[in-house]
Each structure stands twice: as structure tokens, then as C-alpha cells.
Amino acid sequence: MSEQAYFVGVDVGTGSARAALVAADGRVQEQAVEAIKTWTPEPHYYEQSSEDIWQAICKVVKHVIAGVDKQKVKGIGFDATCSLVILGNGGTPVTVSKSGIAEQNIILWMDHRAEQETAQINAAKHPLLKYVGGQVSLEMEIPKLLWLKRHLPKSYGSIWRAFDLPDFLTWRATEVDTRSLCSVVCKWNYDAAAHSWNSEFLRGADLEELTKDKFAALGSDVQPPGKPVGKGLSQRAANELGLQVGTVVSTSLIDAHAGALGMFGCRADSSSSKNDDVQGKMALIAGTSTCHMSITRNACFAKGIWGPYQDAIIPGYFLNEGGQSVAGHLLDHVLKTHECYFALSKKLGGDKFIYQHLNKLLEKLAAERGFSSVHCLTQDIHVWPDLHGNRSPVADATLRGTITGLDMTRGVESLAIKYLAFTQALAYGTRHIIENLYEHQRAAFQTLLFCGGLAKNPLYVQCHADICNLPALIPNEQEMVLVGAAALGAAAAGHYESVESASKAMGGTGQLLKPNPDTVELHNRKYKVFLKLLEHQRQYRDIMQGRQT
């Protein structure tokens, strides 16, 4: 019998750093979480600190490994949000903030300051943009670097390294600058087909300086996820994390991509062969935002959806990535801006219990009104949910939310129905992404897989199953992002021969929720209204800008 092996998965999300000690079969043994700081100096500006994040990581890793022999920890994998980290000579932080405070050296993924720079890059229509649905997103890194050059030239001129946050973590752990193909191809417009940075694209984006010294600031050593970085943990990082020097460190993944890696290997408790083909799975990593991840053997170019990204998660597959800039954050906003929120929160003892209360109340209201399903409660209420812009498939950060059917109703019942309408709208958004992929000849989906905070909300998951008319699989192990990060460490350490085999071995099983056939026609009608809301918003904009009379 082989010696018990453990792997550490580290996940840095929007508001916290987490770590888990994971067994070789994917079972989470211990986990810990620590909040991280975010500065919001003005609307749409979000800044963080790489040193604050690293200190939070050290705390949670020490916690999860405290009760295990360090020799049994064979590898560590990192994932993080796709945020921009700026370092100067010697790895010192360089400010990205108008405040000039050096500590604030990260532009968070959800920061939308680079709107003009994004438009300028897209106007050039470089052929590389075909890999990002036709246009770069202002949540990606090249527009943010151009903003830095335009607005904080001293900081831009001080750049030694510009990292995606996951790659900063592997550098900080090993002192070796290796970039993950996942980060650079998905968020930096790296040319995966040519296996190189594209000088023409960078010059066209007015960032010619980044082409110097063999693209040193961007990283010249690009490796697929799940490969060992350098000689493992440096002496400094090992001391800080409480692990052994030389513990294998894997090339990283973006946080959503780590969740997808963990879930792609998951199968239903009563698995059938048609549910096991990874091409037929869409993984939804549903938290503050939602990412919609799917992979195919043949490249699928879908307008408004990121990708196809070659080998970005699993070698031999092309990744398509859809997403919603706000999801859990949107439902929290709906909740916390309602007049009933404070009294209800105090009465029930927190937001978690509010959602449970509202879900039960919706069932009660449907029964009282003689409806066969809670979905019927919103027959006359329709929502377009993009209060923070649309990431995909419309790819328009200027879109805003719409709601029709408002009345004078007050109280908790009005909150419940409004919450239902917004939850449905998020699911219609997922259907919009799926149908867009189908229009571009993508193979049919068989299953939706869910992880993240919203996966714990049964209304959110069932809405998706019903509205997309696809079964929804919820892994029995809920922390699949951490499992995916640990799977990186397992692959890099050679415990499994590849990230794909690590995913299959560690993905575990899950519960399958089937769609309700009785709601198909209702959702087909409401989906038509959903698309009309987009059409009308564009018409209203044309009228106000004098393009239509």
C-alpha cells in the first residue's frame, strides 16, 4: 500500500484567500479562509495588495497543514482571480492607485477603469481578437496596462514584472518567473497557436515597451497548467507557509478555471456514459460573478464568448469561456437595497438564512396562488440582469439592467418575487451563452455542473436546470475550486500523469437535479421577452443619441 499523499490547494478569490489540504482521492481534509483588503477609491475602481494577499495565504496554509506530517504534502497548486499585479525592481510593489500608495499594486479583475483603452484596442481589430469573441474585455490585462501608461506613467515606467495574480503567487512561492498558459492566453492576448507574444498586437495597443528584452516584463517562460515550477518552494516561502523547502509548486490556473478542472472530472452518482464525455459538460463557477467554462476537441469561434483558448486547462482541448460580471453580487444587491432587508436580516440572523427564508416563501406563495411552479410567480415580471455590463455573449460593458412589471406591492413577498425574477434572469443569461455557442456549431451539452457560493442555493441551480432544460450536477465535495488547485499540485508532483487524469481521480461524484418538463413552455416564452429587453435597450439608446426617431 502506497504512502498517504496530500496536496495543498490555494484559492484567492475577490474577497478572501482560502487553502485546503486535499487527499489524493479529492477529499478535502482541512480548509481555512482569511479576508483580504480591497480599496475602492472611486466608482468602478478596485485595488488590492499583493503583500496583503500573500500574508493571508501564509496564514491559511499554516492552518490546514498543522496536523499533518509535512513530508506527506507532495505538492501545492495556486489559483486566483485574473487581477493585474505590478512589481518594480527586486519585486517591490508599484502603485496602480491615483493615491500613490505603493501597497495598492493590484488592479482587481472587476475594475472597469480602462473603458477608453479597451475601445481603442478593439478599434484596431487585430486578428488575435478572434480568440476573445471579437473584442478584448476591459476586465483583461492589456487594457489595464494601457490605462496605467496613460494615467500613471511613473508606475508604468517602473515595471519590472507585470503578473497575473495566479502567476505572481507561483513566482512568490518559488522565486522563478514561469507564466501559466492559462493566464496569458485567457487574459493577456498571448498567441497560443504561435506559442509566443505578438509584437504587432502590443505595438498596435501602444504598448511597444513590453516587447523589449524578449518580453521580460510579461514573462518569457510560458508553461501549461500542472507543470512543476523551478525547484519548488524557496527557503523563504517554505518558512512562511510552514512547508518543506522544495515542495513541488505547480503552474497556476485562474480561479474559475481551477473550479472547472475540478468539476470536469466529476460524475453523477448514477453515472451513465453520456454524462462522462467532458465535451458535454459546462462548468459554472458561480460566486460574486459566474464563469461558464466548457472545452471541445475542435476549436469553436463564438462571437462575444472568450476563446477558443488552446490547452488553457487540459492539453488537447480548446476552452470557451462565457461569464456574467455580477451574479451572487447582483442577488446581494437586490436583497440589500430592498426596504425589508435590515429588519429581515436582524430577524433571521444573517443573509444566508434570508435566502433560505425567501426560497421557502416562494414555494408557499406559489401554492397559495394555485401555481404548479414558483416560476409562474414572475409571469408579468421580466429582468435583464446586466447592472454591471454584459461580459458574454453581448460583450458590452455599457449595458445596464432592466425590469418590467413593477407595481406598488411592498413587504417581504415583493422582495421574494423580485429575487426570483433576478435569479431567473441569471439563468436566462446562461441560456443566452449556450445558444450562442450552438449558433457557432458547438457540440451539444449534456450536463451543467455547479460550484461556488451560488451552487449552495437550490433555487439558483434549479432555475438553471429548468431554463436551460439540462440536468444540473452538484458535486458532493462543494469546494471544487480548491480541489482543482490541489489537482494541479498532484499532477506537477507526478502523483498523476496529467491534469486530466488528476481531475478524473479527484473530481468525485455528485447529485443530479433534472429539469422540470412542465415549465419548458413558460421559460421559452419568458426567454423571448428576455431577448426583447436587450433589443429595446439598444433602441432606447439609439433614440437618446438621435440615431432613431
| CATH (domain of 410) | 1.20.58.2240
Low-confidence ranges of the chain (pLDDT < 70): 1-2, 270-275, 549
Question: Among the three residues 401, 432, 463, which one is the final residue of a domain in this structure?
Answer: 432
Residues 223 and 342 grouped into a single domain: no
Does residue 159 sit within a domain?
A: yes
What pLDDT is recorded for position 523? 98
Regarding whether 248 and 337 lie in a shared domain, the answer is: no
Q: Are residues 24 and 144 in the same domain?
A: yes
Give the global pTM. Answer: 0.90
- Count of helix runs (H) and strand runs (E) in the chain: 18, 22
Whether residues 246 and 335 fall in one domain: no
Can you give the C-alpha Rg of the chain in angstroms?
23
**Statement to judge: residues 43 and 170 lie in one domain:** yes
What is the rounded CA–CA span in Å between residue 360 and residue 342?
19
CATH number for position 91: 3.30.420.40
Instruction: Give a yes or no: residue 294 inside a domain.
Output: no
Shared domain for 28 and 176, answered yes or no, is yes
In a domain, 97, yes or no: yes
Q: What are the start-end ranges of the E strands in 129-274?
A: 161-164, 179-180, 222-223, 248-249, 253-254, 267-268
Q: Say what the pLDDT of residue 1 is.
A: 33
Torsional class of 452: left (φ above 0), alpha (ψ -120 to 50), beta (otherwise): left
What is the structure's pLDDT at 456?
93
93 inside domain: yes
Statement to judge: residues 244 and 333 lie in one domain: no
Angle between helices 351-368 and 458-468 (to 10 degrees): 50
- Classify residue 240: in a domain, yes or no: yes
| Omega of the bond leading into 228 within 30 degrees of 0 (cis) | no
Kindly report, residue by residue over 132-177, the tens digit of the pLDDT.
Answer: 988 999 999 999 999 999 999 999 999 999 999 999 999 999 999 9
Q: What is the pLDDT of residue 3?
A: 72
Print the domain residue range for 340.
328-432
Task: Specify the pLDDT at position 547.
Answer: 86
Verify that 137 and 244 share a domain, yes or no.
yes
176-188 burial: b if 16+ Cβ within 10 Å, else e: ebbbbbbbbbbbb
**457 φψ region: left (φ > 0), alpha (ψ -120 to 50), beta (else):** beta
Specify if 238 maps to a domain. yes
Regarding whether 234 and 132 lie in a shared domain, the answer is: yes
Q: Is the peptide bond before 393 cis (omega within 30 degrees of 0)?
A: yes
Cβ-contact 243, 249 below 8 angstroms: no
Residue 447: inside a domain, yes or no?
no
3-class secondary structure, 29:
strand
| Residue 421 placed within a domain | yes
> Into how many domains does the chain fold?
2
Assigned C-alpha cell, 82 = 485574473
Domain boundary residue, one of 399, 432, 465: 432
Of 253, 286, 315, which residue sits at a domain end? 253
Residues 232 and 333 in one domain: no
